[in-house]
Structure 1
């Protein structure tokens, strides 16, 4: 049986809590990021929970940024294709 130390609990909690981020839509990730930031700002959570929330918030922010970058790239491609077709 493995020992239930804070390090083991944080490692297993963090891994379990980050697995779903990659499947989230932009809206889902943004809404949860808002909730995480609000919870961190209000304080009162134990250190381990705060660290896990911070880590999850970083992953959610990264997911949102990648969604926005992808949307920007697609918009730029559409803009270029429209400019190319108007030149013909």
Structure 2
């Protein structure tokens, strides 16, 4: 686990650390205080992953296709 701010992490970094947090909590080898700290970190990591996934989904929704289904570019996010 790192002390890096969650808001600076990529999706891949956040999901990897979230897996580490879950494994530590599952092991049962951490004190109550450490468990609380890990849970809080895990909640922040989960929120970061959800945010990054929503951002990616929004980008995918903006891809425009031609008549054959091939990507031709993107359209503005406001639907114009």
* Short-chain TM bin: 0.7 to 0.9
Q: Which has the higher helix share?
A: 1
Decide which structure has the larger Cα Rg and report it. Answer: 1
Structure 2 partner of 1:60: 45
* TM-score after normalising by structure 2: 0.75
Q: Which sections of structure 2, spanning at least 5 residues, go unmatched?
A: 67-71, 73-80
Q: Which sections of structure 1, spanning at least 5 residues, go unmatched?
A: 1-16
Q: Which has the higher strand share?
A: 2
Name the Cα RMSD after superposition: 1.8
* TM-score after normalising by structure 1: 0.68
Extract structure 1 runs of 4+ deviating beyond 6 A: none
Deviations 1:41-84 (CA, angstroms, capped at 9, x unpaired)? 00121111000000000000100010001100110011xx336x
